[in-house]
């Protein structure tokens, strides 16, 4: 596991940019951290780094699965409001793991049984208004 301290949103964007060079379709990335830690902000930066439209990445979680067109197809799952894993299955989550997408999952702890191994795990710790610590595991050479 690697630790990356950041002290600004710009630094968070730079980290996402760096990660974007190391991932490919079929990768599943989980993002953990308290509300406001920066999970969606990181997803937005990653979508932009992969050639997608960052404006489409919304913080409020109205639907469970979002799709973004980028250099590679990106699926963004926000499991925050999920009542059950059955709900995620009904939303079609299993189709996302067919190897054709990069799948980014906020609140993976709510759907642990549905997420295939291996995953790239990102944990974000809130340290201060702008300061965060990112812990990244499951990725060689990063």
Q: Which does 26 bind (CB under 5 to 8 A by kind): Mg ion, ligand ADP, none?
A: none
CB under 6 A: which stretch of 17-25, 39-47, 63-71, 97-105 binds ligand ADP?
39-47
Q: Where are the beta strands (DSSP E) in 17-140?
A: 28-32, 65-68, 74-78, 102-106, 120-126, 132-137
Beta carbons of 122 and 134 less than 8 angstroms apart: yes
Among 12, 20, 30, 40, binds Mg ion (CB under 5 A): 40
**Could you give the string, one character per residue 112-131, with x where binding to ligand ADP holds by CB under 6 A and - elsewhere?**
------------------x-
Contact criterion met (CB below 8 Å) for 104 and 77: yes
Q: CA 111, CA 113: separation in Å to the nearest integer? A: 6
Footprint of ligand ADP on this chain (CB under 6 A)? 6, 8-9, 12, 33, 35-41, 59, 106, 130, 132
Residues that bind Mg ion (CB under 5 A): 39-40
């Amino acid at each position: 596991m690697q630790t990356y301290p950041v002290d600004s949103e710009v630094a968070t964007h730079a980290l996402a940019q760096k990660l974007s060079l190391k991932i490919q379709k079929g990768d599943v990335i989980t993002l953990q951290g308290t509300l406001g830690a920066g999970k969606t902000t990181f997803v937005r930066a990653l979508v932009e780094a992969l050639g997608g439209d960052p404006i489409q990445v919304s913080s409020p979680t109205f639907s469970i699965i979002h799709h973004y067109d980028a250099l590679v197809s990106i699926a963004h799952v926000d499991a925050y409001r999920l009542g059950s894993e059955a709900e995620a299955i009904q939303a079609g989550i299993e189709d996302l793991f067919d190897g054709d997408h990069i799948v980014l999952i906020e609140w993976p702890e709510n759907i642990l049984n549905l997420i295939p191994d291996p995953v790239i795990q990102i944990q974000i710790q809130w340290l201060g208004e702008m300061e965060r610590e990112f812990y990244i595991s499951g990725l060689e050479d990063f």
